Structure 1
């Protein structure tokens, strides 16, 4: 049985300058844990595949197209492919977001 804990997962370089851990990387899907400190944000970007975000800890503000909404832990958010999106942490505590891309881009 394979398992990966986010605290020991390898860091993934990224253009956003935030802490990203690769939890799963297979030809069919990819799962990453993004940690955003208060005030941090990803740069707006698009993906060629559908993505979903699961707020694992804290509160994340999700920007998809023209929509922006803050979500607390335990919430899953769908992000359709080819629509500009990004995540930010506008709270005063750290946030962790699980990002799953399937199929893998």
Structure 2
């Protein structure tokens, strides 16, 4: 059941969108469709045995994550609150509830909650068994 639920989630993320009426398998709201990350860099799929991981990450007001890097594509959807992400020389960007993004690959960054309420994100790592979802620099 856990694998089926994950398959449904990934299918929803990948295939959700407005399709031509003749091709429409179901209706939905497109959250994101892109081949580049938030910094405009092309996505790079990892070599090796595929592994999809999904998490819900929550940061309390004022909380910050550790600087890290993703060598794999990562989709995120802000469920509630606002999160700011510091990309170093690429600047700081803020994402609010209802926004979707493809996180930066191969760029050290960290997220922090500048608000007065918790922020929660659904994240989906599109990785492989050979690479971690995130690494500390």
Q: TM-score w.r.t. structure 2 length?
A: 0.54
Partner residue, 1:88: 112
TM-fit CA distance, 1:85: 1.7
Q: Distance in 1 between matches of 2:64 and 2:107?
A: 17
Q: Is the counterpart of residue 75 in structure 1 residue 121 in structure 2?
A: no
- Give secondary structure in 2 for the equivalent of 1:48: coil
CA contact (8 A) 1:49 1:80 kept: no
Q: Is the counterpart of residue 39 in structure 1 residue 62 in structure 2?
A: yes
TM-fit CA distance, 1:87: 1.1
Cα deviations across residues 21-55 of structure 1 (Å, max 9, x unaligned)?
xxxxxx52111111100000101111221212211
TM-fit CA distance, 1:64: 3.0
Q: Which has the larger radius of gyration?
A: 2
Partner residue, 1:59: 82
Q: Distance in 1 between matches of 2:78 and 2:57?
A: 10
Partner residue, 2:126: 102
When residues 67 and 78 of structure 1 are mapped into structure 2, their CA distance, relative to the original with a 3 A threshold, is farther
Paired residue total: 83
Structure 2 gap segments, 5+ residues each:
7-49, 133-137
The structure whose residues are more often strand, as a share, is 1
Over aligned residues, Cα RMSD in angstroms?
1.9
- Give secondary structure in 2 for the equivalent of 1:91: coil
